[in-house]
Structure formats: C-alpha cells, structure tokens
C-alpha cells in the first residue's frame, strides 16, 4: 500500500527544539537601500586587508574615466602621426594610383597658312570609337548593336572583342559626327569615344604634293607635313584625370587645361597665283597628253616661292585613294636632264671667264658636227653666228664648243656655285640630282653637259640657279617659309652684273626676236625673257636615249627688271614635244595672269610705252610696237585733251569715264575693268583668259541712270 511521506512525524520530532526568532529589520533601513553598501567595507577588508580604507571611491571613479580618455586620445594622435609621417608617402602613392589616371595627349597640330593668311591645312576635333573588352558584359548584344553603326560585320566584331584580353582596342578612328552620336546614344558598356584631331585641307588639291599629308596618329608622312613635323606637331603632354569610387573620370586638374598645340607655319605661297599656275599646268598636260606637268613661280626681288603647282592633282583629304606616283613631289624629288634650259648658265660662265663675248663668232657646222666619239645635230641649220645667237637659236653644236673652251674643272666649279648637285634651302624632301666629279668628265661629257645632257637636276635646282642669274649674279636662297624677323644669310657672288645683263638680253631675244625659239611666250605690252628646253629621256631598259622627251621653259617678266621667275616642266608630252610650243604657252598663261592679278601688267605697259615714245636721239627703241587699238581709252569730252589739241591719251586708271559704254573688245581684262570702274561699274567676268572678246551691253550704250541697276558682262578668252 502506497503511503505518503510522514512529514508530520518529522515535524513532531523537531517540536521540542527551540526555534530562534526571525531577525527584524528596521523599516527605515530597508527603504534607504544602503544595506549592501554597509557590508562592502567588510568585504574590502577581508579582500585587501584594509589597504583601501579611507579612499574616496567617487573621486577615484572620475579619475579613472579621465585617465582612460587621455590614453585613447594619445593613442589616436600616435596613430595619426604614424600614418602621416611613417606610412604617409606609401599610402598617398596608393591613393593616387587608385583615384587618378594619367593620359598622354598629343594635342592639335599647327596650321599651314599662305602669305595672305589663307588656311591651307588645319586640324579639327574628331572622335574615335574604342572598346574595353574587360568591361563588356554582353558581347552578342554589343556586336549586333555596334556593327551596323560602324559599318562592320557583327560576327567579326564579336570574335575580335570576346577573345581579347586587352583593356583597350580601337574600333574605328576619327568617325563623323553622326556615327559618334549614334555610338553615344547606344550607351553600350565598355564602348567609349576618345577625342582626337583630324587634318583638313580646305582648298582640297591646291599645292597637295607640297603640303603632303598626316596619318591616323597625326604624324606627318609626306611633304611639308613630314619635313616640318618638329614645328607643326605638338609635343605630347601628360594629363592627370581624377576618378570616383566607381572608376569614372570626373575632374581634369590644371595640368590638362593647357592643351599642347603645334606651331603655325606661314608659307610664301600666294593662293591666287597658286591657283593660276595649277590651272595652266593642268590645261597644258591635258592638251598635250603629258605624263605630268609642274611650275614654280618665284618673286625675284625676295626669292620667295609664290606658286608650287603640279598635275595630276593630289587631294590630301583623301590620300588613301592616291598612289605614291600621284602624291610624289616631283618638282623637288625627280631629277631629269634639263636640256636647253641649262644653256644660259654655260654662256654666263664662259662670259665670266672671258672665253667669249656676245659677238664672238662660233661655227655651228650647218647643223651637224661629226666628232671622233659621236655626232651632234641641231634642229636648225646655222653656219657661223655670234655667241648671242647661239642661245637664240639654241644650237647644241655652238654650246658644245663653248663648253670645251671652259674645261671640265672650271665648268664644274660654276655648276657647284649655282647649287647643282646640292640640296637647296627649301625645307622639302628633294633629290641632289647627278653631278659627277670633274675628274670623271671626258671630252664627251663636257660637250653634252654644255647643252643639258649627262647631268640630272630638279626643277627646284633650276629655279635656284635662274634666281642667281636674275639677282645680278649673287646667289640668293629660295624661300618657302615666312619666318618672323630678319634672316641672316650669306650671299655669294657667282657672276658679275655685266655678265648677267648680257645673258638676260640674250634670253630676251629668245622670246622677242622674230627668229627666237620662245616666240610663243610673248605677252602683249610687256617684254619677256626666257629659254626653251627639249630634253631627250633615257630608256632604262636599253640604256640609250629613246623617243620620249621632257619640254621645259624658264622665263622672267618684265625682261628689264624681272618681277617673276617662272619655270615650267611638261614631262613626256605626246602631241608635241618641243618646249617652245608646249611649255612656253603655259608660261605665257601664268605670267600674264599673275601680272594682271598683281597689278604689275599695267605698270609694265606704261613703262614700255614711255620707252617707245622717247626721242630717237636717246638711242634705239626697245620692245614691240603697240598698235592704236592698244592705246588706253581716252574719255570723251576730256577738257584737258581738247584744250591742248594734242590728243594725249591717259592710262585707264587715270582717265575719266565717258558718257557712254566704251569699247573694250580686244583690251586686257585689267584695263577694261579700270575703265568701267571710272563710271562706278563693276562688270561681271565670264570665261578665262587675259583679253575681252565680247561685252554686254554693246559699246556706245548710255550708262544707267543713277539709282537704276544694270548688268555689265565681259567675256574673256585668249587673243
């Protein structure tokens, strides 16, 4: 039977023991709550043996807090000192690498200007598309979106970028604005646009071979762009860019504000005369079906090159579409045998050495001279003629005999002084030509060199030599750059002034004389001097002279005081091969239009008429006789003329306008415009040429009443 515990029994057993009374606590002490604190001193005594008896524990706690605060404050300052002084440079370097990026910036190339400030070449901002394959997340989407925009195959774009481990890949350089905007709007991650500079040539093909072009990296590859790279190209500068925590660039510091820039270069070229020269060489090359043609126009008083024309034209804006044969600067790089245009220098050297005089008789062997080694032929049959006529008739036989009189060493020294066999001072890539040492010359070499064979020269060297001749025999370097300040140059005299005047007079007869070979170079109203040249070209396959020719003409105007020197070269013309026909006509076109443009033609005409009207006692009259039709127009009702009864006629720019439209048919365009300008009329010019062939309204028509507009047209052509 389960029984409950007998706790009652236990209680009975303890009933007889005395029970202690419970301890009662005073109510005031329980409410005060200090019962525990009363026991603490006892605890401290038992633990520390009375060591801290009498300590003010409230103040002790405050001091402890202050001590801890000072400790941590000193610890923080110590850490800061360590980071600033010990670990500072290392941490700053790491922070700079993390939050900044450096870029090498090429900058903008300098401009190329003509003498009047016309821009021939300049750099404009362009954008190029690049990719960072490491940041591209969806290559398939990128390729399908970007391929049509850039005109590239998506599959090729996908394969190229998805397999690349590089962080920078060019996709397309220097795109147009429309493509750049499409790329920007696409917003493809990992695809960006970078600013570059693109080279632009506003006048397209004008002086294209001379200017050259630059590549994708903005470095000059041909022409002046290459030879003047040190001045035109900008020195790369380092630019610092700051980045945020995401690596995005957001700030450009002061080092990048001053973008590098190349130096501007001003040429001596005149854009208008350059256009005239290019128009003429293109026309002659097309008319005579030539391989190429070119012309140099030089301002004689200063030695500055005003035009550098070459055909076929080359457009530097689209240089990838042209072959090296097109953009080759042949006027400086191609060395050819000069032919008869070389003869004036031989004549000048012989005159300087006293070997001949202008009246020295020379036997030209009736057009054929058989020597021991070879035979020489002339295009005309001449017997004994003076030395001056040897140049007029361009006799190879006469020149060969003059060359033998000079001798190889003296002959060679003069050619060296004139600049043959050496590069000129013009900053272009040019050939030295071929001028063998005098010790290697045989008798045959002396004779053939005297009439322009056995020697190779460039058109630039020929212009330099003729400039020396026209500068009274003093070597003056050609100039293509218009630098600031005076240029200190040492000039060397090659010929004396008397010799130069004699040779220039002979060259005047080449053009102005009835039997001269350069008659086609004549310009109405101004005297011209020049020399024709027709050189055989060697066949490289056979090693002998073939049937191909190069036609040239070197001329200057006016003949008495040269203003312009013009050298024209037409290589391998097929319809006609003579320099007196092919190149002389191009010279005439360039010279007449250049004189008209510069205003020198009117002054030359007036000076020539003054010479022709001098009394006979002053000596023989020089120049061509001017017909009455070429006398300047005399205004009707000219009171001064009527009162004197002399019938004096004033030049067009001094005459007063008549009451009716004058007859300007057959007159030069400059003279006609001056006549219309007297009446306050600016006529419209149509066609090309130097003379008026038709006009509207017809001569004799009254001028329009004041306030009423009228159209006046002048049609031009060659006379």
The pLDDT-based confidence of 622 (bands split at 50, 70, 90) is: very low
Among 293, 340, 552, 560, which one carries the catalytic annotation? 340
Evaluate whether 391 touches 513 at the Cβ level (below 8 Å).
no
If one compares 302 and 625, the residue with the highest pLDDT of the two is 302
**Spatial distance between the Cα atoms of 550 and 548, rounded to a whole number of angstroms:** 7
**Spatial distance between the Cα atoms of 631 and 609, rounded to a whole number of angstroms:** 9
- C-alpha triplet 60, 66, 67: angle, nearest 5°: 85
User: Rounded mean pLDDT of 182-199?
Assistant: 85
Where do the domains of the chain lie, and which CATH numbers do they carry? 102-265 (3.90.1310.10), 271-315+331-603 (3.40.710.10), 628-717 (3.30.10.20)
The pLDDT-based confidence of 296 (bands split at 50, 70, 90) is: very high
pLDDT (tens digit per residue) in 437-464: 999 999 999 999 999 999 999 999 999 9
Sign of CA dihedral 267, 270, 271, 277: negative
**Region of residue 394 (left: phi > 0; alpha: psi -120 to 50; beta: else):** left
pLDDT (tens digit per residue) in 482-524: 875 444 566 789 999 999 999 999 999 999 998 889 999 999 8
User: Rounded mean pLDDT of 696-717?
Assistant: 73
**Spatial distance between the Cα atoms of 350 and 665, rounded to a whole number of angstroms:** 47
End-to-end CA distance of the chain: 161
pLDDT (tens digit per residue) in 402-443: 999 999 999 999 999 999 999 999 999 999 999 999 999 999
The pLDDT value given to residue 236: 64
HEC secondary structure over 441-482: CCHHHHHHHHCCCCCEECHHHHHHHHHHHHCCCEECCCECEC
The pLDDT value given to residue 60: 82
**Spatial distance between the Cα atoms of 428 and 260, rounded to a whole number of angstroms:** 25
Query: Among candidates 138, 287, 118, which has minimal Cα distance to 206?
Result: 118
Q: Max Cα separation, the chain?
A: 186
pLDDT (tens digit per residue) in 302-344: 999 999 999 999 999 999 899 999 999 999 999 999 999 999 9
**Spatial distance between the Cα atoms of 183 and 192, rounded to a whole number of angstroms:** 8
Q: How many residues does the chain have?
A: 719
The pLDDT value given to residue 650: 35
β-bridge partners, 685: 714
Q: What is the DSSP-derived secondary structure letter of residue 246?
A: T
- 669-678 vs 600-612: helix crossing angle, rounded to 10: 100
The pLDDT-based confidence of 274 (bands split at 50, 70, 90) is: very high
**Spatial distance between the Cα atoms of 433 and 422, rounded to a whole number of angstroms:** 7
Q: Is the pLDDT of residue 170 over 80?
A: yes
The pLDDT-based confidence of 611 (bands split at 50, 70, 90) is: low
The pLDDT value given to residue 44: 58
Q: Is the pLDDT of residue 226 over 80?
A: yes
β-bridge partners, 556: 529, 565
The pLDDT-based confidence of 256 (bands split at 50, 70, 90) is: very low
The pLDDT value given to residue 254: 45
Evaluate whether 241 touches 103 at the Cβ level (below 8 Å).
yes
- C-alpha triplet 415, 506, 515: angle, nearest 5°: 125
Q: Is the pLDDT of residue 562 over 60?
A: yes
The pLDDT-based confidence of 234 (bands split at 50, 70, 90) is: confident
Give the mean pLDDT of the chain.
80
β-bridge partners, 243: 249
Q: Give the Cβ contact number of residue 193 at 10 Å.
A: 15
If one compares 669 and 269, the residue with the highest pLDDT of the two is 269
**Spatial distance between the Cα atoms of 120 and 122, rounded to a whole number of angstroms:** 7
If one compares 528 and 25, the residue with the highest pLDDT of the two is 528
The pLDDT value given to residue 104: 56
Tokens of 26: 């005073």
The pLDDT value given to residue 90: 82
pLDDT (tens digit per residue) in 643-652: 333 333 333 3
**Spatial distance between the Cα atoms of 396 and 545, rounded to a whole number of angstroms:** 16
- Residues 6 or more apart in contact with residue 466 via CB below 8 angstroms: 344, 554, 556, 565, 567
pTM, two decimal places: 0.69
User: Rounded mean pLDDT of 222-237?
Assistant: 87
Cα–Cα distance list, 80 to 75, 85, 125, 494 (Å)? 9, 8, 48, 82
Cα–Cα distance list, 13 to 6, 8, 17, 66, 244 (Å)? 11, 9, 8, 64, 90
- 154-162 vs 139-150: helix crossing angle, rounded to 10: 130
Q: What are phi and psi of 127, to 5 degrees?
A: -115, 140
Evaluate whether 402 touches 450 at the Cβ level (below 8 Å).
yes
The pLDDT value given to residue 29: 45
**Spatial distance between the Cα atoms of 345 and 420, rounded to a whole number of angstroms:** 11
Helix (H) or strand (E) holding 250: strand 249-252
3-state secondary structure of 643: helix
The pLDDT value given to residue 371: 81
- Residues 6 or more apart in contact with residue 297 via CB below 8 angstroms: 273, 277, 305, 306, 307, 309, 564, 565, 566, 590, 594
Tokens 């024309």 map to which residue? 309
Annotation marks residue 340 as catalytic: yes
How buried is 326 (Cβ within 10 angstroms: 0-12 exposed, 13-18 middle, 19+ buried)?
middle
Evaluate whether 521 touches 584 at the Cβ level (below 8 Å).
yes
**Spatial distance between the Cα atoms of 433 and 421, rounded to a whole number of angstroms:** 5
- The 3-state DSSP composition of the chain as helix, strand, coil percent (nearest 5) reads 40, 20, 40
User: Rounded mean pLDDT of 583-608?
Assistant: 81
Rounded percentage of the chain residues whose pLDDT exceeds 70: 75
Tokens of 95: 């922070």
Evaluate whether 535 touches 498 at the Cβ level (below 8 Å).
no
- Residues 6 or more apart in contact with residue 69 via CB below 8 angstroms: none
> Among the listed ranges 100-104, 446-450, 671-675, which one has the minimum average pLDDT value?
100-104
Q: Give the Cβ contact number of residue 239 at 10 Å.
A: 19
Helix (H) or strand (E) holding 530: strand 529-539
Q: Is the pLDDT of residue 189 over 90?
A: no
β-bridge partners, 693: none
The pLDDT-based confidence of 559 (bands split at 50, 70, 90) is: very high
Evaluate whether 586 touches 570 at the Cβ level (below 8 Å).
yes
The pLDDT value given to residue 421: 94
**Spatial distance between the Cα atoms of 612 and 624, rounded to a whole number of angstroms:** 8
pLDDT (tens digit per residue) in 513-556: 988 899 999 998 899 999 999 998 887 777 778 889 999 999 99
Q: What are phi and psi of 655, to 5 degrees?
A: -75, 155
**Spatial distance between the Cα atoms of 610 and 351, rounded to a whole number of angstroms:** 32
The pLDDT value given to residue 719: 46
């Amino acid at each position: 039977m389960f029984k409950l515990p007998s706790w009652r029994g236990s209680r009975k057993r303890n009933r007889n023991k005395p029970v202690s009374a419970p301890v009662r606590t005073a109510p005031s002490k329980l409410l005060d709550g200090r019962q525990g604190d009363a026991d603490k001193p006892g605890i401290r005594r038992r633990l520390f043996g009375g060591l801290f008896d009498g300590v003010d524990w409230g103040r002790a706690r405050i001091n402890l807090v202050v001590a801890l605060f000072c400790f941590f404050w000193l610890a923080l300052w110590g850490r800061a000192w360590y980071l600033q002084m010990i670990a500072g440079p290392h941490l700053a370097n790491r922070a700079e690498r993390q939050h900044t990026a450096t870029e090498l910036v090429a900058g903008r190339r300098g401009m190329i200007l003509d003498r009047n400030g016309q821009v021939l070449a300049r750099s404009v901002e362009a954008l190029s598309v690049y990719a960072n394959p490491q940041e591209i997340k969806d290559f398939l989407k990128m390729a399908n979106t970007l391929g049509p925009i850039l005109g590239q195959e998506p599959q090729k774009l996908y394969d190229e970028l998805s397999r690349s481990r590089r962080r920078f890949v060019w996709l397309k350089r220097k795109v147009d604005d429309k493509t750049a905007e499409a790329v920007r709007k696409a917003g493809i991650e990992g695809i960006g646009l970078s600013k570059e500079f693109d080279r632009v040539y506003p006048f397209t093909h004008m002086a294209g071979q001379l200017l050259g072009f630059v590549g994708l990296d903005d470095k000059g590859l041909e022409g002046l762009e290459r030879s003047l790279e040190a001045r035109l190209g900008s020195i790369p500068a380092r630019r610092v860019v700051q980045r945020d925590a995401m690596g995005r660039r957001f700030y450009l510091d002061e080092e990048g504000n001053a973008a590098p820039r190349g130096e501007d270069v001003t040429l001596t070229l005149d854009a208008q005369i350059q256009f005239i020269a290019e128009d003429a060489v293109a026309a002659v090359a097309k008319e005579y079906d030539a391989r190429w043609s070119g012309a140099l126009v030089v301002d004689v008083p200063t030695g500055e090159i005003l035009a550098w024309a070459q055909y076929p034209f080359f457009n530097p804006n689209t240089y990838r579409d042209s072959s090296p044969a097109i953009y080759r600067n042949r006027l400086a790089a191609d060395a050819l045998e000069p032919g008869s245009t070389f003869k004036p220098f031989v004549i000048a050297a012989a005159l300087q050495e006293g070997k001949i005089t202008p009246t020295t008789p020379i036997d030209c062997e009736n057009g054929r001279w058989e020597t021991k080694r070879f035979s020489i032929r002339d295009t005309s049959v001449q017997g004994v003629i003076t030395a001056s006529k040897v140049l007029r008739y361009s006799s190879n036989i006469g020149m060969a005999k003059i060359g033998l009189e000079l001798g190889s060493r003296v002959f060679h020294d003069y050619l060296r002084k004139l600049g043959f066999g050496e590069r000129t001072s013009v900053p272009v890539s040019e050939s030295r030509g071929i001028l063998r040492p005098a010790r290697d010359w045989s008798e045959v070499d002396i004779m053939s060199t005297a009439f322009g064979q056995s020697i190779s020269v460039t058109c630039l060297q020929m212009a330099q030599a003729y400039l020396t001749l026209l500068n009274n025999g003093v070597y003056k370097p050609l100039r293509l750059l218009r630098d600031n300040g005076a240029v200190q140059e040492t000039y060397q005299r090659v010929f004396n002034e008397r010799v130069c005047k004699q040779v220039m007079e002979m060259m005047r007869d080449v053009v102005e004389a009835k039997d001269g070979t350069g008659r086609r170079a004549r310009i109405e109203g101004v005297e011209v001097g020049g020399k024709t040249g027709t050189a055989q070209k060697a066949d490289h396959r056979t090693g002998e002279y073939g049937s191909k020719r190069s036609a040239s003409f070197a001329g200057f105007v006016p003949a008495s005081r040269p203003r312009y020197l013009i050298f024209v070269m037409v290589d391998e013309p097929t319809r006609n091969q003579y320099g007196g026909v092919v190149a002389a006509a191009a010279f005439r076109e360039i010279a007449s239009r250049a004189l008209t443009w510069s205003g020198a033609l009117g002054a030359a005409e007036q000076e020539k008429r003054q010479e022709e009207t001098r009394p006979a006692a002053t000596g023989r009259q020089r120049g061509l006789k001017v017909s009455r039709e070429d006398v300047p127009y005399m205004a009707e009702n000219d009171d001064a003329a009527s009162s004197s009864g002399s019938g004096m006629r004033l030049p067009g720019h001094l005459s007063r306008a008549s009451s009716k439209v004058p007859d300007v048919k057959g007159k030069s365009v400059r003279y006609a415009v001056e006549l219309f300008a007297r009446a306050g009329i600016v006529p419209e010019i149509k066609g090309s040429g130097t003379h008026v062939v038709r006009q509207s309204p017809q001569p004799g028509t009254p001028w329009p009443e004041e306030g009423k507009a009228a159209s006046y047209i002048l049609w031009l052509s060659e006379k």
